[in-house]
Structure formats: structure tokens, C-alpha cells
Structure 1
């Protein structure tokens, strides 16, 4: 169920029976010469809508711009400052709570959003407003992702390329695959300059990758993308169903381990 397609009485009927919502979030940022800036939010929205269709739970509109200043040197990248992003996400999640939702899954497809979504979830849980948890698609199927590609990559690599080949093939520039690979870092795990004496001495993607991407995109195919998409959507559906089964009292912040020290003396 997509919230923006419903009428208010229909949504009233939903919250009378259900209390779960799905919130997709991504970014609008460079993904190399072969993928669109929309990559992250297309993946997040695709998985969120698919899981909503499978389970019947409510899906909100997608947050298309995230925390992406580390890609700012590449043309077209958009971003918001972390405090603004956190406050915005927290504010509209409180809107959901006002309307009767008490548990939310942030379906996230952008690494730069992770720590901020976790912080928002903690704020909302600790004050007893709502239980909100961040979910990252590739972390739900790590073994499958690793098996699919010889040289995976965290950004613009074969896993994201395959997903967009499946979701929006018309937006993929396959003639740029080799340029993306050759201008980036193919073997991320063995790139010594990414870790100097235990420190990450860089802040922006352009400091490490001329093309803005990591991994070997030439391994990607739409067939692999379809397999990854289905597997991740299945994991998301299972998470939603598990979340729906929990008592809200068990999801919110536990009480102090000893609320009244010494009271039993």
C-alpha cells in the first residue's frame, strides 16, 4: 500500500488494523559514468514498494536526497547537512506516529545515511514515540553479494550496477563500464592507500577514485540484479513480518537496570 495513492479514510482503516510503515531513503549523487545519480533512491524505492506489495504494509514516499557531501566534487551530486537530514527524518517519522504508526523500517540504500538514521531511531525509541530501525539491502544478503562478483565495491560497483540493470535498464550506460572500472578502484580490500597506519586519511570519494566508483562493473548483469533484488526483498518482507509480531513494549527502550537502587534494603 502506497500512502500517497490512498484517501484519508482508507488510511484510517489501515491504522485501525496495522501499525507498521516502510520509509525508503536514498541519495541523488554521482555513481560513476555508467549509472544515474538516482541509483540509491531507485533501489530503495524499488525494494520498499516490492516489500509493501508482498506484505500489505504501508509505504511512504521516498527521500531522494541524503547525506552525500563526500561526493560533492562530482557534477550534479546533491546533499543536505547531517543535522538537517536527521531533523527532517525525525520530524516526518513523528508524523507517522501521530497517525497511529508505532514501528517503522527505514529502507536505506545509501551508506552516508546509515549513522544518521540510527541516531534518529535511537531518539525516537528512547523517548517512547516509535520504534524505527535502519535496514540496508546489501547487508541483508552479504553472502549472495560476495558470491556474485569477483570484485565487489561499496559504491557504483557491480552490485548497484546489476540492481539498476534490473530496475531501470534504460538508465545504465553499459558502454561506460570499462571506463568506470579503469578509472576507479577495482580491488577495494587490497587498496593500501585506503588505510594508512590504521587511519582513514581521506574524506571525499574523489581522493580515491577518478571515476567515483569502486569495484568491477563489467561483472554485472540484469539476471544477477534480479536475483539480488528478489533475495533482498524477501529479507525485507521477513523483517517487516517479524516486526509486526513484536510487542511494542519489547521494542522500546528498556527501563533502567535498577530504577530505585537500594529500595530493597
Structure 2
């Protein structure tokens, strides 16, 4: 069920009988010369809508702009400051709680949102407003991602390219995949741009001139379909698990 397409009398039954909502979040930021700026929020929205269609749980409208100042040097990147983002998502979640929702799955597709969504979840839990968890699609299927791609990348790489080829292939510049690979950073690991253990970069452009990492030529729509199906299965299972929990299990423990 997609909230924005329903009339309020038809939502009443859901809010009276169910307690879970799916909230897709992403970003609007550069994803190299080959992918649309909406890559992250498009992936999050597609996965959230799929899970809602398969389960009947409520899916809210997508939060399209996230914490992305580290991509600001590239044209078109949009962002909000981290405190503003946290406050907005917390208020958004309190809105759901007002209608009776007490458990939320943040379907997230942007790494820059992760720590902030977890902080919002902590605040909501501490206040006993709702139990909210952050879910990142690729982290739910790491073995499959590793099996499908020889040279992956954390941003604009083959996994995101394959997902958009599957979800919205018409938006992928297939003729620029080699350009994306050759103009970006192919190899990237935890030791990149570190000096004596300290991380020495702040912005994406410090690592990659065109904003992306990995070998984008390794992506196909068929691989994207595999990723989408496997991640959707994980999301459905998470929603079912959370919906089945007794509220008492989700509340903070008492002081010792």
C-alpha cells in the first residue's frame, strides 16, 4: 500500500490494524557521468514499493534529499545539513507515530544517511515513540554483491549501475560506462587516502575526478534484477520479523 495514492478513509483500517511503516530514503547527488542524480532515492523507492506490494505494509513517500555535502563540487548535487536531516526524519517519524505506527523500517540507499538514521532511531527508541531501524540494501546481500562483481565500488560502481539498469534502464548512459571506469577510481579500500591511520579526505572529488569508483562496465540489467530480487526478499523478511515482535520487546530496558 502506497500512502500517497490512498484516500484517508481507506487508510483508517490500516492504521487501526497495523503498526509498521516502510520509509524510503536516499539522496539527489552526482553518480558519475553515466547514472542519474536520483540513483539512491530511486533504488530505495523501488525496493520499498516492492516490499509494500508483496506484504501489504504501508509505504510512505520517499525522502529524496539526504546528507550529501561531500559530493557538492559536482553540478546538481543537493543536500541538507546533517542536523536538519535528523530533525526532519524524526519529525516525519513522529507524524507516523501520531497515526498509530510504532515500528518503522528506513529503506536507505545512501551511505551518507546511515549514521544519522541510526541516531534518529536511537532518539525515537529512547523516547518510546517508535522502534525504527535503518536498512541498507547492499549490506543485506553482501555475498551476492561480491559474487557478481570483480571490482565493485562504494559509489556509482557496478552494483548501483546494475540496479538502475534494472529499475530505470533508460536513464543509464550505456555509452559512458568505460568513461566512468577510466575517469574514476577503480580500486578503493579501507586504506585509501589514509596517513598513519588517519582519514585524510573529506569530499568524493578528493578520491575520484568524475565522482565514482569501481568498474561500471561489469554491470548488466540481469545482474541488477538478481540484486533487486535478493534485496527485496531480505526487506520483506525484515518487515515481517519486525511486525511480529511484541511491543514490549521493542521498548527500552529498565534501569538495572
- TM-score, normalised via structure 1 length: 0.95
Segments of 5+ residues of structure 1 without an aligned counterpart are: 259-265
Residue 200 of structure 2 is matched in structure 1 by: 201
Per-residue Cα deviation, 1:35-76 (whole angstroms, up to 9, x for no partner): 000000000000000000011000000000000000000000
Q: How does 1:113-128 map to 2 (within 5 A)?
A: 113-128=113-128
Alignment correspondent of 1:179: 179
Q: Report the equivalent of 1:57.
A: 57
Alignment of 1:16-95 (within 5 A): 16-95=16-95
Other-structure match for 1:252: 251
For the pair shown, the structure with the greater C-alpha radius of gyration is 1
Are 1:214 and 2:213 an aligned pair?
yes
> 2: CA distance between counterparts of 1:118 and 1:255?
21
Q: Could you tell me how far apart the structure 1 residues matched to 2:98 and 2:36 are?
A: 36
| 1:163 and 2:149 matched | no
Work out the CA distance in 1 between the residues paired with 2:47 and 2:223. 15
TM-score (norm 2): 0.98
Deviation at 1:253, TM superposition (A): 1.4
How much does 1:10 deviate? Answer: 1.3
Deviation at 1:181, TM superposition (A): 0.6
Provide, for residues 225-256 of structure 1, a one-character-per-residue CA deviation record: whole Å limited to 9, x for no partner.
00000000000000000001101111121111
Deviates more, 1:20-29 or 1:177-186: 177-186
